[in-house]
Amino acid sequence: MKNKKNNILKFWRDIEIFNLLDFSDKLGYLDKNAPLPWTVTQQPLEEAKRRYILYFGKHKKLHITTLIENLIGETQEKPDWMEKVSGDTCMAVLILEENGTISEENAYVQASYMV
């Protein structure tokens, strides 16, 4: 029974580790020739606090999953019904407050597969 519980916990942990962050193409990029957004005066938001999320290390999800499969020696063919991994992910996220200071709540999030 104990081994079964350990297997369940290991499976759950593995799912969490390999749940890749989504990286949207709708995000803006910092321009090295422009001032940083938090240094420019902006209209205050009415209902929310403005935050900036900086994404580091953009990669294709398929590239990351292929690397991981190669590292663990995964050789099984994928079933036809299994969807291919698509989209982009990142290696880390840094959350900044409206004035550019580091957020106190979960300011730095590193992709679990990097740990």
pTM higher than the cut 0.75: no
* Model pLDDT for residues 31-85, shown as the tens digit of each residue: 889 998 889 888 878 777 888 888 898 889 888 888 888 887 877 777 777 777 8
Beta strands in the chain (DSSP E): 51-56, 59-60, 88-89, 92-97, 108-110
The DSSP bridge pattern shows strands 108-110 and 92-97 to be antiparallel
Residues facing residue 23 across a β-bridge:
88
Record the tokens describing residue 104, joined without a space: 């106190």
pLDDT at 1 over 70: no
* Model pLDDT for residues 4-33, shown as the tens digit of each residue: 777 777 777 777 666 787 877 777 888 889
- CB of 92 within 8 A of CB of 56? yes
* Model pLDDT for residues 88-99, shown as the tens digit of each residue: 888 888 989 888
Domains of the chain, by residue range, sit at 2-114
